[in-house]
Structures are given as C-alpha cells and as structure tokens.
Amino acid sequence: MAGSWHIGVIGGSGLYDPGTLDDAQEIPVASAFGEPSGPVITGWLAGVRFTFIARHGPGHRLSPSHVNYRANIDVLKRCGVTDVLAISAVGSLAEDIAPGSFVAVDQFIDRTAGTRARSFFGDGVVAHVPMADPVCPRLSALAADAAQGAGATVHRGGTYLVIEGPQFSTRAESRLYRQWGAKVIGMTAMPEARLAREAELPYALLAMVTDYDCWREAGESVDMSAILKVMQANAGLARQTLAALAQSLPPDRAASPIDAALDHAMATPRSHWDPATSARLDAVAGRLLKIAP
C-alpha cells in the first residue's frame, strides 16, 4: 500500500541539527526504553516530513558506547517515521575512498563489545529478524543520488566495520579490517541498524569520510583536529543532501518488505507474550499488536 514518506534522520558527529526545516518544532516524545540522545526536532522540506535526532546529543556529550540506540529508534518509530537515514563520520579503509567523500554503506561487520543493548526483544517476547541485507536498497540509492545531486562524491556500497571505541584502532586492527574487505570504519552503526530492522524501519547510512584511519604505510594516525575540519565542511553537504532527498522522493511511498520484518520473526506466540514487555513494544511492534492474536 502506498503512503507518505516521513524520514527520520539520525545526525552523527558534526551534524547536530538538521538545518532549516519548515514549521520546525521540538516535540516531546517519551520512550519506554529510556532517554533518547536529545531533543526530537520535526519539520518539513519540500512537503516531506523529516524528524531529526542528534546521535551524540547536543554538545556531543554521549560517547558511542553510551548512546541509547533503543530509545532513539523507539522515539522515531513513535513519531511515525517510515524510513531512517543515518549520517555518520567514518574513517576510510581504502585508498580510493578519500576524506570528503560519502559512502552509501550496504553491509556491516559488528566488532562492538557486546555491552550495548542491541534488541528490543527478550524478557518474554522473543523475535529473530533477518539481517542478511541490513540496509534498505531503495532508501540508500535515493540518499546516494541526493548526495551526488548536492555535489558530493559518492561511493555506492561498502562494508562499515563497527568498533566499540572510543579509542581509534591500532594499525594491526586497521590492516586486519582491510583484509576482511571492510571499506569504512566507525563506532555507531551497530546496534542502530539492528534496532531499526526490529522496528520495521528501512534504514540507510550515508557515511561521511573524515580520515584514512591508520593503516597506511606513511605512518600517519587518526587525529581529531583533522577529522573536525572535514566534519565542518561535510555538515553543510549533509544538510543539502537532505534538501535534495526531499525534492527527489517519489510522491508516494510504495510499501517495503522491511515494513513487515516482524511477520516471520516472532518465536513467542502472541498468547505467550509477557504483558509488561508487550506494553514497552507498543511502538516497535505496534503493527502486530493491532492484529488480533
């Protein structure tokens, strides 16, 4: 069934506000999963609704390990977002992916420490969603086209290696990740992408390349001051990408298979759902809760 687009944007390092949105307002949205990273801003661009949240919060006070990824996705779902576009600063693991360019990521390798809450499920309601293709190809292509239209150099496809951080990698790690075929490295895409899938939200990630990490022979290492310079230049381009995306979205949003990701994922029959857990899942699994058990 076709409907309207409502794009949720998660702004990463350097992107702490969405730029000018028509009718922008901060809306109070509480999550059953705790505090989101910061204010939720909603508004319009070219007649398309956008709702924005800054991943590290105002003033970048949350480290990658302390972002409440569940609350962020849950509040976007509660706002009625249909699709999530994540924007992230990353290091490049490939010579041809230069700082300043963008990568429309299509795969992830998760090397986080396992301490981040990475599922909405458990506690008496068990689900296993497929993650073989973690990125929505439609949203990713639209975002890549929009970034290109805004003037960015865009690489389509590439694996994002997610480390726990907050320290950058050692050279041995960085070189190992290249052997694994990863193209970019960052600290935040997991569990964000997993949670978006559980919430039946098509997810795409536009990675803004800020550095070459530390794998190159020349001996340079990653340096926050160099990263900050690239991030400042990229933030404007990211906002222009949102404007270009709004202009280019098809007028109607055709349904995506990801909108029904939970259909074949539930291990626990509805009759056995824990009542407290199902109350917390009123947004994430709201579609299933509306169907008679």
Ligand X SMILES: CSC[C@H]1O[C@H](OP(=O)(O)O)[C@H](O)[C@@H]1O
Ligand Y SMILES: Nc1ncnc2[nH]cnc12
State the Cα–Cα distance between residues 167 and 187, nearest whole angstrom. Answer: 10
Out of ligand X, ligand Y, none, which partner does residue 91 contact, by CB within 5 to 8 A per kind? Answer: ligand Y
Residue type, 33: F
Q: Is 13 annotated as a binding residue?
A: yes
Nearer to ligand Y, 84 or 89 (CB): 89
CB-based contact 118:191 (threshold 8 Å)? yes
Question: Annotated catalytic residue: which of 211, 223, 259, 263?
Answer: 211
Shortest spacing between CB 240 and ligand X, in angstroms: 18
Nearer to ligand Y, 7 or 209 (CB): 209
Out of ligand X, ligand Y, none, which partner does residue 213 contact, by CB within 5 to 8 A per kind? Answer: ligand Y
Q: Output the residue with the shortest Cβ distance to ligand X.
A: 12
CB-based contact 185:169 (threshold 8 Å)? yes
State the Cα–Cα distance between residues 82 and 268, nearest whole angstrom. Answer: 26
Strands (E), the chain: 6-11, 22-27, 40-45, 48-54, 83-92, 102-105, 107-111, 154-156, 159-163, 184-186, 203-211
Q: Side-chain half-sphere of 20: how many Cα atoms within 13 Å?
A: 2
Shortest spacing between CB 105 and ligand Y, in angstroms: 13
110 is catalytic: no
Residue 12 in contact with ligand X, rule: CB under 6 A: yes
Residue 8 in contact with ligand X, rule: CB under 6 A: no
End-to-end CA distance of the chain: 23
Q: Is 213 annotated as a binding residue?
A: yes
Residue 64 in contact with ligand X, rule: CB under 6 A: yes
Binding-site member from 41, 48, 53, 55 for ligand X (CB under 6 A): 55
Q: Output the residue with the shortest Cβ distance to ligand Y.
A: 91
| DSSP of 195-210 | HHHHTT--EEEEEEEE
213 is catalytic: yes
Q: Tokens standing for 238? A: 């990211």
- Convert 60-90 to b/e letters by CB count within 10 Å (16 or more is b): eebebeebbbbbbbbbbbbbebbbbbbbbbb
Shortest spacing between CB 290 and ligand X, in angstroms: 33
Binding-site member from 71, 143, 185, 243 for ligand Y (CB under 6 A): 185
Out of ligand X, ligand Y, none, which partner does residue 211 contact, by CB within 5 to 8 A per kind? Answer: ligand Y
User: Under rule CB under 6 A, which residues in 178-197 are in contact with ligand X?
Assistant: 186-188
User: Under rule CB under 6 A, which residues in 94-133 are in contact with ligand Y?
Assistant: none
Would you name the residues annotated as active-site residues?
211, 213
Residues of each annotated binding site:
13, 55-56, 88-89, 187-188, 211-213
Sites of contact with ligand Y (CB under 6 A): 89-91, 163, 168, 185-187, 210-211, 213, 222, 227
